[in-house]
Every structure is written in structure tokens, then in C-alpha cells.
Chain A
Amino acid sequence: MIELDQVTKLYGTVIGVNDINMSLPPGTYGLLGPNGSGKTTLINLILGQLKPTLGTVRLFGKNPWSRDSLLRKIGLCPATEVAFPRVTGYQWVKYLIRMHGFSSQAADQMARKSLAQVRLDHAMHRPMQNYSLGMRQRAKLAQAIAHEPDLLILDEPFNGLDPVGRMEMIQFLREWGSTGRSLILASHILHEVEAVHPSFLLISGGRLLASGSPDQVRSILAETPNTIRIRASNARLLASQLMEHPAVDEISILAPERGESGEILQVATRSAAQVYNRVPELLAAANIEIYEMHSADESLGHLFSTLMKIHRGESQGGTLT
């Protein structure tokens, strides 16, 4: 579906994306990266809105830069916010559908249908300027899906959505993926993207650092330096036993939150996976009750700093695919 061959995009002397190679068959993809990492540039290269400085981009087998007709197959929900003072959501969505070449009558039906799909039909005749951020996000989604594209590209679609809205968005995207149509979801929030069950594309500093399934991403995290938090009934005993483990660098004991039982053990390790494997044995042998265990650094920021270190050769572990 999408092929990028050694694609680099420069804005003058600033690097947008750097030497990206990837081949994506139809499917659901989560494009993850911190703000300013090159996600929007990559999307615009795929859409043919930008011309690569080096390399080639193929979308559905064709060069998107010179194939305007390819855009008929794509629905784009960009990150940018729009708010027209006198234009209603319905008028805006209908206008953008007509820009695909549909007649006014057909566009009217498609606009109503898509606005109902995103649950904005109750407010579709209100001026967009009066919309909340979440409502604008829904209107943007409506214009992207109205013409039933083969590939839906969403850039930060969860921005401004309340928890219910987020859940509905996740549900919608899951359903979209289950119909066999393709989806690229760009975000900087790991758990929201993860909820859609995509394959991951991890981008930072304009480089594609890694790609793979959620499990593969987790294994990268597990096999790299990390900090683990364990809340257990006898954390001090567990600490004394974990100290002997060669992968453990540092252990500290923290007081639990009010109302929580046990104590919190914070373990800094060179290989979280080894600690994760060892802990159950220790717990069973010493009869320690465990309440929770998770990585303290399981954030996208940590993941990317780790991947960048691996990329630069500063750290070992993790498999870049």
C-alpha cells in the first residue's frame, strides 16, 4: 500500500524526516512519536503534499506527488484546528465532500451519514466556531470518512476529546480496522494508539526507529534499562533478595499512597526482562504477596530516548526492525 525508499525531506537546513525506508501492506498502523518528530511530514509525504528531497514515495503503487486522483482513496483527518465563524459543521463537511467531485445532492446525503457516524448530527447546523474542541475533532473525522476511503489517516485524533469521546473514537477506529480498510493513526500517546491494536511505527528526530507489533515494542522496553515499581507485602525482604541479582543497579523503598497496603520497591535495572522473570520465583519462595508491578518508565518519552540510544549505539538490547 505504502512504500518509502530512502526518503529524506529537508525544510531548508532543517530535517523533516531522515532516510526512511518502509513498506506497509494494507492494515492498521500506529505512527508514534514525540511532538516535532516528523509524523506530520511523513503523512504529507505519503499524501503527496510534500515532495521528498531524496528518495521515492509510492502510494497504491503510484507516485502521490503527481497523481492527484489517488487522493480519492484517502481520508485525512489532520491535526490542525479549523473554525469558521459562519459555517456550520454540515456545510463544511458537505463542501469538502463536493471537493471530491460529488454532486450537491450526493454530498448532502454523505455529509449527514458521516456526521451521524461520528455522533455530531445533533449539532451539525451550528456554526463551527461554537463547537468544543471535541466536536471539531468529530467534524474533522466526519469529512475524512464521508467518501468511504480505502486508507484513513488521522493525525492526533484524540486531541481535545473527553474520556467518553476517546472511548468512542477508539471503538470507531477498531471497527474501521475490522472492515479490512487501512488506517494510519499518528499520535504521541502510546496507550491510546495501543487501544486500537495497530502495528507500531516509531518515529523520532525524523527517523523511523522501530516498527512492529505491540508485543515487540514491549519487548524492546523490557530488554532495555528501565525502572520497575513493585508494591508488595514484604518489600524489604524482596529488596534484599533482588539486590543479589546482577541486572539490578539500585533499589529504593518508598512509602505507599494513603490507603494502599504494603510498601513500594523501586528497582533500577539494566534489563527489566530479567527482573520480571526473577521476581515470581522470589515471591513464591519467600511467600511475599504482590499487589502491583509495572514499569515506572513505561512512557513514550522513555521508549524513544531508549530507542535513540540504541540507534546511536549508546545502548544495547532491543531489536530494531
Chain B
Amino acid sequence: MRWFNSILATFQFELINFLSLQRLAVTAILALFPPVMLSLIFVGFRFTNGNFQFPLIVTVLFVSIVCLLGMLLWATPNIYSELEGKSWIFVASRPGGRISIILGKYLSAVIFGFAICVVAITGCLVVIQWMTGALKNPIWVWFSMNLLYLIGCLSYGAIYSLIGTMFYRRAMVVAAAYTIVSSIVLANVPAVISRLTLRYHLQFIGFNWFGEEMGIDIKDLMNHYSIADVPSSFYHLLWLGTAILCALSAAAWVVMSREYITSDET
């Protein structure tokens, strides 16, 4: 209960701290980027009399980019922002303060990141349905997509929180490098190593839930990864849940066992 109180206090404090014009502007830009881009692509196809075939795939691509950017911006500098703001010692000198700051900031980053995804997904689906009317079950697509991105925010947020505790001085650089190497390079490798990436599991959940609406045959994906059958969503959720727990536990262990030295130490 005591820890829960501390984590909740951190989360509420982050909310107050978050409400600046600058941050809200960044949030708005991130949230509106996918639907605006999608609209522009549709307009472009209209001008050339072309047929925009896979708008849902483009939606997933754009929403994934803003989701990752949002989590990178808010989950990664968990320790560094405190050290830079010189508020670390105030928090660290509280019982359980170190863990509370990690989990409280993680929680707030997930909620901010997920809020962006909800707005972006809603905007994109409205644009798709308005322009094409092709979605057979738009409510289900909206719901399952949001759920998928909530899991994505929780997963990437946990990894970025761990990176923020381990490499706090260069956290953003390391997190960006991790994202490129893991989610772009390794996740596309047709080998077992791709199964260790978050994207591999997230994309299979996505295909299981709304793959049909995306207009891509899941066999193409199975052929790419050379797998005979598609594991259930439960397997992927279990894998991601375990990854989240491991990453957060590791972040908690690192933050408890590490000295964070500021320039004020004399």
C-alpha cells in the first residue's frame, strides 16, 4: 500500500508537470501526424487516379512511429530528467523513492503514449472509412488496434525504462539505437533471433486480431519467418508480459543498486 501510494504520487506529480504548452504541442503533433499523413496520401492518390490499396498497413506504420517516439520521449529519461532537474536527491532520500520514480514515470509515459495512439488510431480509421468505407468491422479494428498499442506502450515503455536506468547519461541515444537494431533490423531477420524482439510478437498479435482487415495473407508472414503454424495470441501476450515484468524488475534492481552521482557531489 505504501509503495502504491508513492507510485501514485509520482504519477500525479508527473501529470501536473506534464501540462506545459510545449509538451501538449508535441503530443498534439504526434497524435495528429498519422491521420494527416494518411489524408495527404489519399489526396495524392486521388490526384493521380491511383488506388490506395493498403491504408491499414500505412496506419499501423505511422501509429507505430508516433507510439515509439512518444515512449522514447517520456519513458527513457526517467532518471536523467531527475538528475538534470536536480530533484533526484529529494526523491532518492525517500523510502522506496527510487522504485516509485521508475514505476510512476513508467505509468505516466504509458498513459501519455497510449493517449497519442488512441487519437492517432481514431483519426486514421475515420479517414480510411470516410475515404474508402472498406473496413468490414471498424469498431473491432479500432478496439483491437488500441489494445495492441496499449500492449506496445507497456512493452516498449518497460524496455526504455530499463535503458533509462542503465544508461542514464546517454539514455535517448541508446534507446534509439535499440529501437533501430531491434525493431527494424533484427525483427525482420528470418531466424530465431527475431523472436526475441518485441515487434515480432506484436505484429503476430496484430495479424491474429485484425490481419484480415489489413488485406495481407498471414501465410506471407509465416513464409518470411519460415514457421509452419501461427502461435496463438495468448503465447505472444505471455511472452510480452514476461518481457515487461523482467524489464521492470531489472530496472528496479538497477535503480536500487546503483549510485547516481550528480555534479553537486563534493
Contact-residue size bin, chain B (C-beta under 8 Å from the other chain) = 35 or more
Q: State A99–B259 Cα separation when bound (angstroms).
A: 20
Measured between beta carbons, the chain B residues less than 8 angstroms from A86 are 16-17, 19-20
Query: CB within 8 Å of A: which of B1-39?
Result: 1-3, 5-6, 8-10, 12-13, 16-17, 19-20
Once A86-B16, A98-B6 are accepted as A-B contacts, the answer to whether A80 and B262 lie under 8 Å apart by CB is yes
Tell me whether B100 is interfacial, beta carbon within 8 Å: yes
Residues 224-266 of chain B, each 1 if its beta carbon lies under 8 Å from chain A, else 0: 0000000000000000000000000000000010011110111
Measured between beta carbons, the chain A residues less than 8 angstroms from B2 are 101
Measured between beta carbons, the chain A residues less than 8 angstroms from B91 are 96, 99
Segment of A43-51, A266-274, A281-289 engaged in the interface with chain B: A43-51
Tell me whether A114 is interfacial, beta carbon within 8 Å: no
Segment of B65-73, B82-90, B121-129, B197-205 engaged in the interface with chain A: B82-90
Once A41-B266, A71-B94 are accepted as A-B contacts, the answer to whether A91 and B5 lie under 8 Å apart by CB is no
Query: CB within 8 Å of B: which of A38-82?
Result: 38-41, 44, 47, 49-51, 68-72, 74, 76, 78-82
Question: Can you give 29 contacting A-B residue pairs, CB < 8 Å?
Answer: A11-B261, A16-B265, A35-B266, A40-B265, A41-B266, A44-B89, A47-B93, A49-B89, A49-B260, A50-B265, A68-B256, A69-B95, A71-B93, A71-B97, A80-B86, A80-B89, A80-B264, A86-B16, A95-B9, A96-B90, A96-B91, A98-B6, A98-B9, A99-B9, A99-B96, A99-B97, A100-B95, A103-B5, A143-B90
Q: State A107–B172 Cα separation when bound (angstroms).
A: 34
B94, B260, B264: which contacts A99 (Cβ < 8 A)? B94
Q: State A107–B86 Cα separation when bound (angstroms).
A: 23
- The reply to whether A101 and B95 contact each other, CB–CB distance below 8 Å, is yes
- The reply to whether A99 and B266 contact each other, CB–CB distance below 8 Å, is no
- The reply to whether B96 and A101 contact each other, CB–CB distance below 8 Å, is yes
Nearest opposing residue in chain B for A91, CB measure: B16
Tell me whether A276 is interfacial, beta carbon within 8 Å: no
Tell me whether B92 is interfacial, beta carbon within 8 Å: yes
Contact-residue size bin, chain A (C-beta under 8 Å from the other chain) = 35 or more
B5, B9, B16, B95: which contacts A72 (Cβ < 8 A)? B95
Once A40-B265, A49-B93, A51-B259 are accepted as A-B contacts, the answer to whether A87 and B86 lie under 8 Å apart by CB is no
Query: CB within 8 Å of B: which of A129-157?
Result: 143
In the complex, what's the smallest C-beta–C-beta distance from A201 to chain B, in angstroms? Answer: 15
Measured between beta carbons, the chain B residues less than 8 angstroms from A224 are none
Tell me whether A176 is interfacial, beta carbon within 8 Å: no
- The reply to whether A44 and B85 contact each other, CB–CB distance below 8 Å, is no
- The reply to whether A84 and B89 contact each other, CB–CB distance below 8 Å, is no
- The reply to whether A99 and B6 contact each other, CB–CB distance below 8 Å, is yes
Tell me whether A36 is interfacial, beta carbon within 8 Å: yes
Extra contacts, 8 of them, besides A36-B266, A41-B266, A99-B10 (Cβ < 8 A), are A40-B264, A50-B261, A68-B256, A78-B90, A80-B264, A82-B87, A99-B100, A101-B6
Q: State A11–B262 Cα separation when bound (angstroms).
A: 11
In the complex, what's the smallest C-beta–C-beta distance from A317 to chain B, in angstroms? Answer: 29
